[in-house]
Structure 1
Amino acid sequence: MQRTIFDTPIIRDVMPGVSRIFFKLIGWKVVGDFPAINKYVLIAAPHTSNWDFPVGLAICFLGGKKVYWMGKHTLFRGPLGPIARWLGGIAVDRRKSNSLVEQIAEVYQHSEQLIVAVPPEGTRKKVAQWKTGFYYIALQAKVPIVLGYLDFASKTGGCGKVFYPTGDIAQDMQEIQQFYHGIRGKNPDNQ
């Protein structure tokens, strides 16, 4: 994977302190620790607002974790492109039918440590159902799924349980989504 902001020693050492101040100012707190697992897919849900990114990034800094994230390809254009990649961004072009699941699963196979955050909604807008790419990435890469969350109602965020996909997607998705029942995004009408 490309170098990220976490690879810069000054930023890696300073950003947890900045994140603590940011959380104190906005009244947020982290609940739960990142699991002591080298590789996993991190669900980033619910995803209803642009605020999800700075709050989620602050949680990663506070947890001392290098987390890669997938974003719409248009975020990586122009002067913001290098910054987005530096922050761990992986451009995804949803207009193209490609083997993104296979590509990311292969990266997991060749990595000693890798956490990729995936918003299962795939957008900040309301969707009828979650996209399943995160599930199939975890299944093919043989890594667990960590249920990450941002609850704007309680101003808490962090990592919930570690879930190991069984291959029974209907049953597994039901169990995963049950965890998110009652967790409210910034714009709950978009959930």
Structure 2
Amino acid sequence: MKQALSRFIYHRLLGWKAVVGVPDFKKCIFCAAPHTTNWDLFIGKLFINAIGRKSGFLMKKEWFFFPLGGWFRSMGGIPVYRDKHTSMVDQLIARVKESDEFHLAITPEGTRSANPNWKRGFYYIALGAQIPIVLVGVDYERKCITAERYLIPTGDVENDMREIKQYFKNFKGKHPERFDVGDC
């Protein structure tokens, strides 16, 4: 029922397309970009539900206030406490290892503004947990979300990040001026 409703809203009402060519991994990180608007969360959740998969997501703790906090948690939201000096990466690696299934969507820019210095936490989670990173491109111009490529982290962070950024450079966010892959 949830998948059928998500398909109807995503495809019929909103007119978006989905192109998926990656395996349905039991455990993975979804690296989703560009992230230029709050609407990306809702479009992304509709996409993931429409294709019959599941995923949690990270979001700054400031959004987890009553009544939204409970709603975001029920959708798979995990609050990020950026002011505390705890290792979210280590906590998530442990969570991956103790789970039979684990899917987490992360936007590497870490903001909805142009930022050529992408966060690398998603990479280190995948590397530490030895799981693939599925590259999910959001293109508002074509109204299409694409997941046709994945990467197994090699440990060569600079080279792998360059490859990831190269993949995303042609996707157009809702506000293209807010997306920057930097020099790749």
TM-score by length of 2: 0.92
Q: Distance in 1 between matches of 2:49 and 2:146?
A: 12
SS in 2 for 1:47: coil
2:92 alignment counterpart: 104
Structure 1 segments (4+ residues) deviating >6 Å: none
My pick for the range that moved more, 26-35 or 139-148, is 26-35
* Correspondence 1:21 to 2:4: no
Q: Distance in 2 between matches of 1:75 and 1:106?
A: 25
Counterpart of 1:173 (choices 161, 164, 169) is: 161
Q: For residue 173 of structure 1, report the CA deviation from its aligned partner.
A: 0.4
Sort the Cα spacing of 1:147 and 1:186 in 2 relative to 1 into closer, same or farther, 3 A. same
- Aligned 8 A contact 1:34 1:63 in 2: no
- Aligned 8 A contact 1:105 1:141 in 2: yes
* Correspondence 1:30 to 2:18: yes
* Correspondence 1:162 to 2:112: no
Q: Which amino acid aligns with 2:19?
A: V
Q: Distance in 2 between matches of 1:158 and 1:44?
A: 10
Q: For residue 78 of structure 1, report the CA deviation from its aligned partner.
A: 1.3
Counterpart of 1:189 (choices 177, 181, 184) is: 177
* Correspondence 1:145 to 2:133: yes
Long gaps (5+) in structure 2: 180-184
Q: Which amino acid aligns with 1:70?
A: L
SS in 1 for 2:153: coil
Q: For residue 123 of structure 1, report the CA deviation from its aligned partner.
A: 1.3
Q: For residue 34 of structure 1, report the CA deviation from its aligned partner.
A: 5.2
Q: Distance in 1 between matches of 2:94 and 2:47?
A: 27
Sort the Cα spacing of 1:77 and 1:34 in 2 relative to 1 into closer, same or farther, 3 A. farther
1:5 alignment counterpart: none
2:64 alignment counterpart: 76
1:113 alignment counterpart: 101
Q: For residue 64 of structure 1, report the CA deviation from its aligned partner.
A: 1.4
Q: Distance in 2 between matches of 1:83 and 1:122?
A: 21
SS in 2 for 1:131: coil
Q: For residue 184 of structure 1, report the CA deviation from its aligned partner.
A: 0.6
Q: Distance in 1 between matches of 2:99 and 2:169?
A: 33
